[in-house]
């Protein structure tokens, strides 16, 4: 494929952009973080507990803390400890409140950022990855969001995902074959040897990226999302460096499809039309990028963490292997128990009442899906992983508002096939060591799960 070295308009604009109000402060976990002088006056309600404190997340989401908050402090204010001048945030922890905020885009905006910080440049004046992500559909409000979503839904239909069923199976088996070639004794890492490859190859394949580019796509998406973990992103500059390689790559692909249409998803985005309108070149580019990022971490983390829960509990594994519980239902419990994104952020556009408190215009809110999914007013015995859980109206794909996950149909099918093929191939799968988590308050995932597999 022809490679262009010039950056796209987005890259150029972002590179040119400066933030005069930015000053550098101390960071956390080995990173240097930028800080923006806040113009907001923080709400008067304050407490010590800061849910963005990474030390609370060392062993996974702090579920006991979330339970306590759901019971006695359902809208909790805290400062952003590692970003002291970014302004604090509200923690929305009850299922009902998460749904209320998610559905009210007029009061609670998605603009600028889905994470709690508005700026992520390595130092003052340096290019800021959030300037790029701020152009994606997930960080837009209606009417722009509605227009973009209508256009991409035209191309990204559930039927298109179903048409890929056999290719998905093929990719899943190819990845398992390669993992066994590298680890002939069957001792391997479920995340690094298997998990990271399947979703990026599936979405890359649909979008038309060559399979041999899978490693690069995995590397770029990892570096853009795991920014809180210095083991994966030693320096915040790495986030930008990944974008500098990723964006020209996608730009190239989109330009090629514009000149030579094929039957892939990238071409379908270019050709999608609603009321005579189409996506611009930059919008297709941003969309490709969003799909790679949103579809990767998510499906991988749900599969690997869900499998770990099955391996931890032989009774649950029997229910699945025996077919007593349909795989579609198993998938829903994987997502409820291990939502891939711990939260998504919204920003209040006006003063409002929520959970008996006053939210002010400009306040940030974290919709903690990890908490909503364990709300005892909705789920019986919510802290127990149980594939028999039905109905299962979890919030793993969002609280049901306009930003509800576009890839939910694809993810459900992919997860079902992935579990099915994995259990079919291996009569025995056992945990073979301690797992390690990604250090993050946003990504709810493991970076390593050692297992031992034996072919059936």
Positions that interact with ligand HEM (CB under 6 A): 102, 137-138, 149, 203, 290-291, 294-295, 298-299, 302, 335, 339-341, 344, 369, 396-399, 401, 403-407, 410-411
Nearer to ligand HEM, 127 or 401 (CB): 401
Tell me the C-alpha distance between 449 and 454, whole Å. Answer: 16
Residue nearest to ligand HEM (CB): 407
Nearer to ligand HEM, 119 or 403 (CB): 403
Give least dist CB 343 to ligand HEM, A.
Answer: 9
Give least dist CB 158 to ligand HEM, A.
Answer: 12
Nearer to ligand HEM, 63 or 68 (CB): 63
Tell me the C-alpha distance between 400 and 100, whole Å. Answer: 9
Nearer to ligand HEM, 126 or 370 (CB): 370
Tell me the C-alpha distance between 181 and 175, whole Å. Answer: 10
Nearer to ligand HEM, 70 or 338 (CB): 338
Neighbours of 36 (CB within 10 A): 17
**Exposure class string for 358-388: b at 16+ Cβ within 10 A, else e:** ebeebbbbbbbbbbbbbbeebbeebeebbbe
Nearer to ligand HEM, 33 or 289 (CB): 289
Tell me the C-alpha distance between 327 and 320, whole Å. Answer: 7
DSSP annotation of 77 reads: E
Give least dist CB 172 to ligand HEM, A.
Answer: 14
Task: Say how far residue 148 (Cα) sits from the centre of its chain.
Answer: 19
How many alpha carbons lie under 13 Å from residue 9 in its C-beta half-sphere?
8
Give least dist CB 350 to ligand HEM, A.
Answer: 20
Nearer to ligand HEM, 137 or 151 (CB): 137
Neighbours of 393 (CB within 10 A): 14
Give least dist CB 234 to ligand HEM, A.
Answer: 27
Give least dist CB 344 to ligand HEM, A.
Answer: 4
Q: Helix, strand or coil for residue 132?
A: helix
DSSP annotation of 139 reads: G
Give least dist CB 48 to ligand HEM, A.
Answer: 28
Nearest alpha-carbon partner for 332 in 250, 273, 408, 400? 408
Phi, psi (5° rounding) for residue 353? -100, 135
Give least dist CB 292 to ligand HEM, A.
Answer: 8
Cβ contact 377:397 at 8 Å: no
Largest CA distance in the chain: 62
Nearer to ligand HEM, 257 or 338 (CB): 338
Angle at the Cα of 447 (from 442 to 450), degrees rounded to 5?
145
């Amino acid at each position: 494929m022809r490679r262009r070295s010039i950056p796209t308009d987005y890259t150029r604009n972002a590179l040119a952009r400066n933030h005069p109000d930015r000053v550098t402060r101390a960071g956390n976990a080995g990173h240097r973080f930028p800080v923006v002088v806040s113009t907001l006056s923080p709400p008067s309600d304050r407490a010590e507990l800061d849910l963005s404190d990474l030390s609370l997340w060392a062993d996974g989401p702090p579920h006991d803390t979330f339970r306590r908050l759901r019971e006695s402090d359902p809208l909790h204010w805290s400062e952003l400890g590692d970003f002291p001048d970014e302004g604090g945030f509200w923690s929305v922890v009850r299922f009902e409140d998460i749904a209320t905020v998610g559905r009210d885009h007029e009061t609670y905006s998605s603009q600028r950022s889905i994470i709690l910080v508005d700026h992520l440049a390595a130092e003052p004046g340096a290019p800021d990855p959030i300037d790029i992500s701020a152009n994606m559909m997930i960080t837009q409000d209606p009417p722009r969001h509605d227009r973009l979503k209508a256009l991409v839904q035209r191309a990204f239909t559930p039927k298109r995902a179903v048409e890929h069923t056999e290719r998905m199976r093929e990719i899943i088996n190819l990845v398992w074959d390669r993992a066994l070639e590298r680890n002939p004794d069957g001792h391997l890492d479920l995340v690094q040897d298997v998990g990271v490859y399947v979703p990026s190859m599936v979405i890359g394949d649909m979008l038309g990226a060559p399979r041999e580019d899978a490693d690069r796509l995995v590397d770029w998406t990892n570096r853009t999302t795991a920014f809180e973990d210095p083991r994966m992103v030693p320096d915040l500059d790495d986030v930008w460096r990944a974008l500098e390689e990723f964006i020209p790559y996608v730009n190239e692909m989109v330009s090629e499809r514009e000149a030579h249409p094929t039957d892939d998803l990238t071409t379908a985005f270019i050709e999608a039309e609603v009321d005579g309108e189409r996506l611009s070149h930059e919008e297709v580019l941003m969309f490709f990028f969003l799909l790679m990022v949103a579809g990767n971490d998510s499906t991988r983390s749900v599969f690997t963490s869900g499998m770990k829960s099955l391996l931890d509990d032989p009774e649950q594994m029997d229910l699945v292997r025996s077919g007593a519980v349909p795989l579609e239902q198993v998938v829903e419990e994987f997502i409820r128990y291990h939502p891939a994104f711990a939260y998504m952020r919204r920003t209040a556009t006006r003063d409002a009442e929520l959970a008996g408190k006053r939210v002010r215009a400009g306040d940030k809110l974290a919709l903690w899906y990890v908490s909503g999914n364990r709300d005892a007013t909705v789920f019986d015995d919510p802290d127990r992983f149980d594939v028999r859980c039905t109905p299962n109206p979890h919030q793993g794909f969002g609280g049901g508002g306009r930003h509800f996950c576009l890839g939910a149909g694809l993810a459900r099918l992919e997860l079902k096939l992935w579990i099915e093929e994995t259990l079919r191939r291996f009569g025995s799968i056992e945990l073979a060591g301690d797992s390690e988590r990604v250090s993050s308050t946003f990504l709810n995932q493991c970076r390593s799960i050692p297992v031992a597999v034996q072919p059936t």
